[in-house]
Amino acid sequence: MGEVDPAFIQEPEHRPKISYIEGQGIPLIDLSPIHSPDNVSAIEGLVKEIGSACKEWGFFQVINHGVPLEKREKIYSASRKFSALSAEEKSKVRKSEKKVYGHYDNEHTKNVKDWREVFDFTINDPITVPASPEPDDEEVTEWKNQWPQYPPELREVCQEYTQEMVKLAYKLMELIALSLGLPADRFHGFFKDQTSYIRLNHYNPCPAPHLALGLGRHQDSGVLTILNEDDVGGLEVKRKTDGEWVRVKSAPDAYIINIGDTTQVWTNDEYESVEHRVVVNSERERFSIAFFLHASSYTMVEPLEELTSEQNPAKYRAYSWGKFITHRKRSNFQKLSVENVQINHFKISK
């Protein structure tokens, strides 16, 4: 099987099982009603489905989402070409503490190294964020994209794909708002200068898939994640009912959607962000593309007024999204002695 660097080896209790449970029950939702909004009863049914998926799983898949197949094929093709470049060529756009977007193959989750390489780019280039996570530091800085020379089409293909992701994310957030009894556009104001980004993931075959993970267990810190993966698969979700890890089997032409921590806070725990991870394959490489919907950096994240009451008081104190992501990004380049900042650090104790 070959040797594996100990930095990749998970603690025994977090290692993946070779046999796995396939995720029966993860909702598959047909979004066609959004393309004919006059059909009120179909929209109402869709809203109900979205609400129960968010509540019961925190994950669901969508089909008939309106993202053209051609745009997905183009971004996968460009991603494959980029991942095939030499290490020297990829290092020209390497991420660092100063350049937080670009290529990286040294990311840690829960202080264990992930078996993958990524290429990140922000959808608003550049974005302005706090220069440090310190509460009293008012200095700001800019985060900019780095684009490689090859493949030459990568930048344009990524920008075209971005437009499709933003459209889909807004539609999904409207459905989520309606499922909570809120106006459809309730969340739109949080995304005026959104800090959303896209990540191209590449997982090489791993000689020890029982010891390492492509991506360790975690919850997404943003609002919503829209994932497209190839046919190799490997995403596992922690089932809320019993804490078992279940493998998501991607439906053809589907996107996998999950609720992030920001939405958990906004909904005051009505909808919860769920832990997930990615297992690796010993024979086949895997590609996936993730869009992370994030609020504007000046957003103060806190439970929405409409979803709190005397009977259901706010469970979190407000925190600055910009400071939060600055803290998170910094930790990508330093092994931490303590757990990274999490929403539970803002939980109000009773």
> Which residues partner with 62 through β-bridges?
29, 255
Cα angle 120-123-125, degrees, rounded to a multiple of 5: 95
CA distance 13 to 180: 36
Helix (H, G, I), strand (E, B) or coil at 6: helix
Phi-psi region of 269 (alpha: psi -120 to 50; beta: other; left: phi over 0): left
Which amino acid is it at 87?
A
Q: How confident is the model at residue 334 (pLDDT cuts 50, 70, 90)?
A: low
Average pLDDT over residues 95-111: 88
Cα–Cα nearest to 225, from 182, 266, 255: 255
Which comes out higher in pLDDT, residue 241 or 81? 81
Average pLDDT over residues 229-258: 92
Tokens representing residue 133 in the block: 């996570």
Non-local CB neighbours of 213 within 8 Å, separated by 6+ positions? 10, 14, 16, 109, 112, 114, 115, 277, 278, 279, 280
Tokens representing residue 59 in the block: 């994950």
CA distance 4 to 12: 15
Average pLDDT over residues 250-265: 96
Residue ranges of E strands in 74-185: 102-104, 108-109, 112-113, 117-122, 127-130, 140-143
Residue pair 236/248 in contact (Cβ under 8 Å)? The answer is yes
Phi-psi region of 182 (alpha: psi -120 to 50; beta: other; left: phi over 0): beta
Tokens representing residue 223 in the block: 């609002």
Tokens representing residue 95 in the block: 């991420």
CA distance 345 to 343: 5
pLDDT number for residue 285 = 94
Tokens representing residue 210 in the block: 């029982």
Residue pair 112/10 in contact (Cβ under 8 Å)? The answer is yes
Asked whether residue 112 carries a pLDDT value surpassing 50, the answer given is: yes
DSSP 147-174: --SSSTTHHHHHHHHHHHHHHHHHHHHH
Q: How confident is the model at residue 332 (pLDDT cuts 50, 70, 90)?
A: low
160-169: per-residue pLDDT in tens? 999 999 999 9
Strand-strand pairing, 102-104 and 59-63: unpaired
Asked whether residue 1 carries a pLDDT value surpassing 50, the answer given is: no
128-153: per-residue pLDDT in tens? 999 988 888 999 999 999 999 999 99
Asked whether residue 299 carries a pLDDT value surpassing 80, the answer given is: yes
CA distance 226 to 79: 17
Residue pair 116/200 in contact (Cβ under 8 Å)? The answer is no
Average pLDDT over residues 68-89: 97
Give the percent of the chain with pLDDT over 70.
95
Phi, psi of 176 (to 5 degrees): -65, -40
Asked whether residue 196 carries a pLDDT value surpassing 80, the answer given is: yes
Average pLDDT over residues 22-28: 82
Phi-psi region of 102 (alpha: psi -120 to 50; beta: other; left: phi over 0): left
CA distance 230 to 72: 11
Residue pair 103/89 in contact (Cβ under 8 Å)? The answer is no
Asked whether residue 174 carries a pLDDT value surpassing 50, the answer given is: yes
